Structure 1
Amino acid sequence: MFTFIPITHPTSDTKQPLLLLQSAHGEKYFFGKIGEGSQRSLTENKIRISKLRDIFLTGELNWSDIGGLPGMILTIADQGKSNLVLHYGHDILDYIVSTWRYFVFRFGIDLRDHIMKDKEVYKDNVITVKSFNVLKNEENCKSEVFDSFQKGVLDSIVSKMFPKHEPTGRYDPSSDPHLNVELPDLSAKIEISTNYEISFNPVRGKFKLEEAVKLGVPRGPLFAKLTKGQKITLDNGTVVTPEQVLERERHFAKVLVLDIPDDAYLSAFVEKFKEYDCADLGMVYYFLGDDVTINDDLFKFIDIFEKNNYGKVNHMVSHSKISPNTITFFGSALTTLKLKALQVNNYNLPRTDRVFSKDFYESFDKPLAKGTSMCESQETPLNTAIQKDNIHIFAQNKTVTFEPFHRDEEPMRCEINSDLSAFSWEKIFEDHVQPLGFPLASVETVINDQLHVNNFNNTTEKKRHVEIITLGTGSALPSKYRNVVSTLVKLPYIHVDGNIENRNIMLDAGENTLGTMHRMFSQLAVKSIFQDLKMIYLSHLHADHHLGIISILNEWYKYNKDDEMSYIYVITPWQYNKFINEWLVLENKELLRKIKYISCEHFIDDHFVRMQTQAVPLEEFNEIIQENSNHEVKRKLDLDGDSSYRDVDLITQMYEDLSIEFMQTCRAIHCDWAYSSSIIFQMDGNNDHNTFKVSYSGDTRPNIENFSHEIGHNSDLLIHEATLENQLAEDAIKKRHCTINEAISVSNEMNARKLILTHFSQRYPKLPQLDNNIDVKAKEFCFAFDSMIVDYEKIGEQQHVFPLLNKAFAEEKEQEDDSEDVESIQDPEIIVKKHKKN
């Protein structure tokens, strides 16, 4: 028996489809896209992947398709997995993994990539997988873009990212000459989609003992030969064949996983599959990109698989206008609902609305709720031979099980399971919130009056105030209740004529930050936020702080690409800028023209500006390898002398463009190239003295001297990490984080006016330590929760509901599993011992 389990489908916060194949004995394989939010979906649904063998990537490899893969690899490695194979149909995969070399590092896991040529077959003792590589344009797309030398360099980099043995001390990948190497130039646009046929090894027939005895076969080794399909010769010369003593073998239906990124691929797919042998084909999964039109052209292709099958094939379709926009992370959504019941204007009700394809739903008579928005691509019904009972909607609940069958004797055995009950916020409120007896909280005030209401920047009063959205508030890796850290701060500037201009800045952006925003806001509100987004700041290179940045940049470009005067300032450690450039050369070169990059080091509150290391030129790589093989002392990388000069001109331009008075960083006490920061914003064109100072800790131990007393002193707002509870001070020292009391002490010494505590350990997924903390000297403070919207002028209002928070999460505390220490899951420098529980 084999089961296909959808892990993610296209929703607001998981954009891509991912399929898990599991055998009856527990072997597991991924097929599809590892988009941001994939591993959080595994956690939400309590799906373990310790027996994961292989990942078969489909379609193209843009960040949207594999943005969750780096974090997934880190988590798999830390769970004790010793080997993992990535399969794909183009050698660009080596380049992609190599771009992560500055922040993805794990010892003890053998990560390999397998480039599958068109029609190549991969086989193990469970499944057989055949690749189908479809080129968007045969003339313009090369099947290989790297020569043998370049491939060797990329392969070596990947192997060094995942060494077998633990480093003896703290490790900085950017100082390793085997990793800090220039990557090959990438000039060709890679437009290829990889697809797979999956077939299963047949089940041999039952051994007919009585028949074997009748034929004179003695018990023992000859029985074993027959069961293995080998014929035998008895002492009397009689030949006995397996067919005489074995029942007929049983077979499984085969499965196709087809990934069509956009309409321009359709003709190539038709050409590739027009002569496809549909015998024993039981299911076709269609992973359709947003730019695929649901029309007759698409179904002309799909109808190919009806050929000679007489309605035996099932079709499972994934598309953003077909799959439902269900709540992917129910635990997080329920937390938001409970918190909204306590502070109704501090949270948006997670959105589930979607525009569906009228062509698909009406042609196949699929049910939709009354009042659902629909759009159509053509005036006439879809012209297709597919029966409505044979086409299905890809969604998380839609598992498919294949069991063996006898060919020519019985139909293929394919069972499709679906138990999706109608979603109702009112029912959820009545079941989980109403019993808590919160005053002033009712279905009317929390649900009906707030459906599709945006509580960010939505009143005349708020438009003049600083506002903060704590999009993610956890640490290490995404969990059921808290996503990894990200904070958006809106700072309005009042011009001389009275017009208000918003400056939105993003402080770190962990994986799936964009998904959270799409779940919180309408498309129109998202557009407004990104048109006002002026700066992305990254505090350090740990993956839980930046795996969402590429998605944020791509979304920003979507709304600003046509504005010639629009730019975004990106302030990061220098290694991350190298990653951005290497990645966007692959995906979106035009976006590079709109980015104004400044190193965090150039804002350092110090006379000494640390120099970055120069990458080893590509042509010198063999020399590096030779030195290593001769056991010579590892080459020390040269320093870039020019990098010690602050980019004064660009900093001055940023101050002018964003109405900033001053910005400083100091070195955080956490890892190499980690920073805390403070920015003073001008707020009023009529009053130069009206400023607002915001300070952000990033990850750090308490930094009283440089952060509290120097760059952050007298901040209007301090946003500080508070990873661990107070009794875990030793852990905080070991992991270079702060306890809650230590974060408060930094605020007190800083003389901060207001304080937001965030970045809580995932071992406390719901509530941080609210009691037994030292006194907060700030005028107001609050604890951050995911998707919290807080007006700076009203930060302290949360304190009024502190007594009710423990009551709010009593239900979750009862269900909570034993916690485990995951603080360093995505930390490439603090190498943790792998969990052996699996």
Structure 2
Amino acid sequence: MYTINTITQSCSDTKHPLLLLTNVHGEKYMFGKIGEGAQRAITENKIRLSKLENIFLTGELDWSSTGGLAGLILTIADQGKQKIILNYGNSLVNYVVSSWRYFVFRFGIKLKSNIMTNSNSYSDKFINVKSIVVKPPSQTNEKLFTSNENFVLDTIVKNMFPKHEPTEKYDPTADPHLNVELPRIDFEQTTTNYEIQFNSIRGKFLVKEALNLGVPKGPSFAKLTKGESITLQDGSVVTPEQVLEKPRNFPKILILDIPNDSYIPEFVKQFQSYDSSDLGAIYYFLNKDITINDTLIKFMELFNAKNAAVQHIVSHPNVSPNNLAFVGSAIVTLKSKALQPNNYNLPRTNDLLSKDFYETFGKQVPTGTSLIQSNSDTQLSTTIPQSQVHILQKRTTVTIDASSIDTSSKDDVKFKDNTMPQEKVWKELYSTHIEPLELPTTSYENVISTENNFNNSSDKSDHVEIITFGTGSALPSKYRNVVSTLVKIPYRDENNEIIQRNILLDAGENTIGQINRTFSDIVRKQMFLDLKIIYLSHLHADHHLGIISILKEWYTYNKSNTEAKIYLVCPWQYNKFVKEWLLLESPEILLRISYISCEHLINDKYLRVETKPISVNEYVDIMHDEISDNEESSGSETEVRSLKKRKLELNNTSTFRNLNMIRSMYHDLHIEKFQTCRAIHCSWAYSNSITFQTSATTTFKVSYSGDTRPNFTDFSKRIGQNSDLLIHEATLDNELQEDAIQKRHCTINEAIKVSNKMNARKLLLTHFSQRYPKIPSLSNNVDIKAKEYCFAFDGMIVDYEKMGEQTAVLPKLTDLFVEEAEEEEENDTTEL
């Protein structure tokens, strides 16, 4: 009757578990955390969301657990879904959604938050979900926001997704409903958990019994099956109980999300007297701060005391193996590496797993795994049968059936895991996708066995290097992640020592996952130690939903160095988002971020003015005035139109360039010039050009287009002229010129023309349409004047001095992705 599938598991690609509950009619419900990579996992697994309406968020709300939610909602809206309900244990969910207000908006979808405080329930004709909100032991202030603050947050959420189509130049910062300050955060979080009860189904109708009682066939049968009694002609009454078997009941499911060890005593109190007699399974979502120890195991044993048949399904970073979440992308990387072995790393699948868990519950340790032990002195023991403890993985499936009349529920929850060991995965992928290509000098040993753990980053520290973590547009796909490019630019000081400067140009969702899969711990640490600038070109979600994770990871490695800071160059609205979000979970990071507005680096005398956000109290007063003025109107539409006529106040001081911060960046990072120009794409979109000093006498100039139509005047001829490296979007093939104009992107030819006008020395084309990972069209292209060029693929590592090496294998690259092209054509035909 019901199936629970794992959408995401704890691994390098996706940090947290997310479950999809589906019934026999196709209705779907999500439970868990929607971290970065969730929507890509949905695409990978070909999950249709047309019958998804409710998302039940678990645990505490931070970026790690909600970083994929904004992208998922945008994708759901684009698929034509008209309503989504976010269920959570308190109103913090409205703060989370409101923080997106400057960059997430879709039209025609109704997004609603359902605040399920402790013991509140959601019910429909299939399920009943009860919230179990557990407080941390130190929590004293139960109230998150005042009534005014809750009113503001609720109103913002409602107005982020208006019913009517806007003009193409819609700017959320000009909307008084959205340009509002958010309340200050001053509370401790709680963790939200759920009990799922499935509505019972009626017993089988006993036709023979009904006939024996004199019930005539027809409408009387129907009434009895609906639970109604009937009166026969002789005056006797027949009740449903006389002709129906007993109702069939389903076992309950618990989903428990435990953030850290301090919560365990509170969970014990909550469930000490819990009736688990009809409990079928428990999902444990354990964060990395949970220790696998005797305290945790004794808590798990509470549920077996009253029901020995309970199934335990455990998710923990040191329990769930580091399986590949995105196999389609891994195949592309495998093929690319087989052809250009020095330009790619295979996704890393190294594991650090809990010896305590695997030994206590008798689980087989995956090959090549390193074990860690929390309890060095004693070995843990448990009364839970080992066969009833399972590891949550990507292919974990739980099916729930109704109990028959005379049996217990122990067989009504069935656990199935089709996960293949990782070493077999690589062998299968190689034999299926590489061997048929018959590439010369290619073998399993030199592509996988030898190279699998090779840190394929340039050995020449004095060379510029480009790493394309994501190369797609619009939304993450099976084959390409959204755009993100790292450029490593060395500086040789007066002592002849090399200082590295890394700049990240945009960071779409799950850039951190791409980094985790590409590099070892040592290389990743050095990459973040050398990361000096994060640049955001514009406010579209596919360019920035990965930045918060990057900032948090940067701080992890630079925390101890109090002098270390990172420059965030972005549109002013995004800086507001960063402040609002980090105040929620990591305010200490804000002290280390040096923000510079893209507008303040513009190569122009005229600077655009920022708008002043409305304060919470002022917003409440305005809205109440509008409501009062329109009490006799027919609905809220009048209020919205009236409020939108109000002019927002401008912040005239925002036109003053932050020269001190700019000079500091120039000095700290040995930058000679950093300029932006307005891109031809959307409001507050920019292209940039940066001239780095590489020694006392030499420079390196890199230009980045962001998303834009061809910009020959400001970009090619002015700020980017004579660039050493141009990184330019090439979203569409040449025959899609009209689409490029409509969507304000470039075709491949247009990008090449920009490069030619710029007189760029070398050209890297990226941000391709999210189809199969084909090499972009090589025919009908204009001549490229750059000395060397290449087309970007995810995970590509390019030594600037060797950029032209791809040219020799371009014809072979075209043949690499024939099977992917055929698969996409089949999918298109199926959908039609």
- Shorter chain as denominator, the TM-score bin is over 0.9
Aligned partner of residue 461 in structure 2, secondary structure: helix
Q: In the TM superposition, what are the counterparts of 1:133-282 in structure 2 within 5 Å?
A: 133-140=133-140, 142-188=141-187, 190-282=188-280
Query: Does 1:338 find its partner at 2:331?
Result: no
Counterparts of 1:232 and 1:163 in 2: how far apart (Å)?
51
Q: Is the 8 A contact 1:569 1:595 kept in 2?
A: yes
User: Which residue number in structure 2 is paired with residue 102 of structure 1?
Assistant: 102
Q: Secondary structure at the match of 2:618?
A: helix
Q: Quick one: which of 261, 265, 290 aligns to 1:292?
A: 290
Please give the alpha-carbon distance, in whole angstroms, between the structure 2 residues aligned to 1:820 and 1:780: 36
Aligned letter for 1:647? N
Corresponding position of 1:443:
444
Trace 1:32-51 onto structure 2 (pairs within 5 A).
32-51=32-51
User: Structure 1 residues 369, 220: CA separation in 2 closer, same or farther (over 3 Å shift)?
Assistant: closer
Contact 2:710 2:751 in 1 (8 A): yes
Matched, 1:79 2:87: no
Output the CA distance in 1 between the equivalents of 2:812 and 2:556: 42
Per the alignment, residue 715 of structure 2 pairs with 707
- Quick one: which of 629, 639, 646 aligns to 1:629? 639
Asked whether the equivalents of residues 251 and 407 of structure 1 are also in contact (C-alpha less than 8 Å), the reply is no
Match of 2:635 in 1: none
- The corresponding residue for 1:500 is 498
Matched with 1:350 is 347
Distance 2:259 2:218 in 1: 56
Matches within 5 A, 1:458-469: 459=459, 462-469=460-467
Q: Which of the residues 273, 289, 310 maps onto 1:313?
A: 310
Q: Which residue of structure 2 aligns with residue 696 of structure 1? A: 704
Following superposition, the deviation at residue 795 of structure 1 comes to 0.5
Equivalents in 2 of 1:194, 1:357: separation in Å?
26
Quote the offset at 1:309 in angstroms. Answer: 1.1
Q: Is the 8 A contact 1:566 1:594 kept in 2?
A: yes
Q: In structure 1, which of residues 804, 829, 834 is the aligned counterpart of residue 812 of structure 2?
A: 804
Q: Which amino acid aligns with 1:438?
A: L
Gaps of 5+ in 2: 627-637
Map of 1:62 onto structure 2: 62
Confirm or deny: 8 A CA contact 1:721 1:743 kept in the other structure. Answer: yes
* 1:364–1:388 contact (8 Å) kept in structure 2: yes
Q: Partners of 2:780 and 2:317 in 1: how far apart? A: 48
State the match for 1:669 in structure 2. 680
Letter aligned with residue 336 of structure 1: T
* Alpha-carbon contact 1:474-1:758 (below 8 Å) kept: yes
Partner secondary structure for residue 656 of structure 1: helix
Q: Is the 8 A contact 1:479 1:765 kept in 2?
A: no
Equivalent residue number for residue 760 of structure 1: 768
C-alpha distance in structure 2 between counterparts of 1:246 and 1:283, whole Å? 29
Deviates more, 1:421-430 or 1:64-73: 421-430
Paired with 1:590 and 1:71, the residues of 2 have a C-alpha distance of 26
Q: Is contact 2:360-2:382 (8 Å) kept?
A: no
Seen in structure 2, the aligned counterparts of structure 1 residues 648 and 511 have a Cα distance that, compared at 3 Å, is same
Residue 52 of structure 1 corresponds to 52
Q: How does 1:580-595 map to 2 (within 5 A)?
A: 580-595=578-593
TM-superposed deviation, 1:820 = 7.4
CA apart distance, 1:433: 1.1
Bigger mean CA offset, 61-70 vs 422-431: 422-431
Structure 2 residue matching 1:474: 3-state secondary structure: coil
CA distance in 2, matches of 1:411, 1:638: 64
Question: Residue type matched to 1:470 in 2?
Answer: T
| 1:575 corresponds to | 573
After superposition, what is the alpha-carbon deviation per residue over 1:16-46, rounded to whole angstroms, capped at 9, x for unaligned? 1000000010000000000100110111111
> Among 766, 769, 774, which residue is 2:777 paired with?
769
Matches within 5 A, 1:514-553: 514-553=512-551
Pick the aligned partner of 1:659 from 649, 656, 670.
Answer: 670
CA distance in 2 between counterparts of 1:402 and 1:502 reads: 55
| Deviation at residue 183 of structure 1 after TM alignment | 1.2
Q: What 5-or-longer segments of structure 1 have no aligned partner?
A: 822-836
**Distance (Å, rounded) in 2 between the aligned partners of 1:817 and 1:130:** 44
Contact 1:584 1:591 in 2 (8 A): yes
Q: State the distance in 1 between where 2:235 and 2:274 align.
A: 45
Q: Does 1:779 align with 2:821?
A: no
Indicate conservation of the 8 Å contact 1:102/1:575, yes or no.
yes
**Deviation larger for 69-78 or 236-245:** 236-245
Taking structure 1 as the reference length, the TM-score comes to 0.95
Tell me the equivalent position of 2:632: none
Q: What CA distance in whole angstroms lies between the structure 1 residues aligned with 2:104 and 2:70?
A: 7
The alpha-carbon deviation at position 732 of structure 1 amounts to 0.2
Going from structure 1 to structure 2, the CA distance change for 1:14 and 1:139 (only over 3 Å counts) comes to closer
- How far off its partner does 1:210 sit? 2.7
Task: Tell which deviates more after alignment, 162-171 or 325-334.
Answer: 162-171
Residue pair 2:91, 2:115 contacting (<8 A) in 1 also: yes
Q: Distance in 2 between matches of 1:423 and 1:293?
A: 26
Q: 2:481 aligns with which of 480, 483, 495?
A: 483
**CA offsets per residue over residues 538-574 of structure 1, 9 Å max, x none?**
0000000000000000100111112110000001100
Distance 2:428 2:313 in 1: 30
Identity score, percent: 58
- Range with greater deviation from structure 2 (765-774 or 300-309): 765-774
Is the CA contact 2:169–2:682 (under 8 Å) kept in the aligned structure 1?
no
Distance 1:615 1:769, change over 3 A: same
Letter in 2 for 1:249: P
2:797, 2:415 → 1: CA distance? 41
Task: Give the equivalent residue in structure 2 for 1:455.
Answer: 456
CA distance in 2, matches of 1:30, 1:447: 36
Q: How far 1:636 sits from its partner (Å)?
A: 1.4
Structure 2 residue matching 1:84: 3-state secondary structure: strand
CA contact (8 A) 2:278 2:409 kept: no
Distance 1:76 1:319 in 2: 28
Separation in structure 2 between the aligned mates of residue 316 and residue 817 of structure 1, nearest angstrom: 38
Equivalent position amino acid for 1:415 in 2: K
Q: Select 2:728's aligned residue among 720, 727, 748.
A: 720
Task: Determine the structure 1 residue equivalent to 2:631.
Answer: none
Equivalents in 1 of 2:615, 2:422: separation in Å? Answer: 56
Where does residue 394 of structure 1 map in the other structure? 392
- How far 1:817 moved relative to its partner? 3.6
User: Is residue 680–residue 691 contact of structure 1 (8 Å, CA) maintained in 2?
Assistant: yes
1:624 touches 1:635 (CA, 8 Å); kept in 2?
no
SS in 2 for 1:463: coil
Match of 2:431 in 1: 430
Alpha-carbon offset, residue 429 of structure 1: 2.0
1:380: how far off? 2.3
SS at match of 2:204: coil
Could you say if the C-alpha distance between residues 223 and 574 of structure 1 is closer, same or farther in structure 2, counting changes exceeding 3 Å? same
Decide whether the 8 Å contact of 1:91 with 1:144 is kept in 2: no
Match of residue 797, structure 2, among 789, 799, 803:
789
Q: How far apart are 1:812 and its partner, in Å?
A: 1.6
**Secondary structure, aligned partner of 1:469:** strand
Contact 1:177–1:624 (8 Å) recurs in 2: no
* Equivalent residue number for residue 415 of structure 1: 414
Q: Look up the match of 2:601.
A: 603
Instruction: Note closer, same or farther for the CA distance 1:653–1:594 as it changes in structure 2 (3 Å cut).
Output: same
Q: Which moved more, 1:263-272 or 1:444-453?
A: 444-453
**Contact persistence 1:482–1:766 (CA under 8 A):** no
1:393-438, CA deviations, whole angstroms, 9 ceiling, x for partnerless residues?
0001110111111255344411212222333334422332122122
Q: CA deviation at 1:448?
A: 2.4
Alpha-carbon distance in structure 1 between the residues aligned to 2:72 and 2:646: 32
Cα distance 1:45–1:713, how it changes in 2: closer, same or farther (>3 A)? same
Structure 2: how far apart are the matches of 1:617 and 1:75? Answer: 31
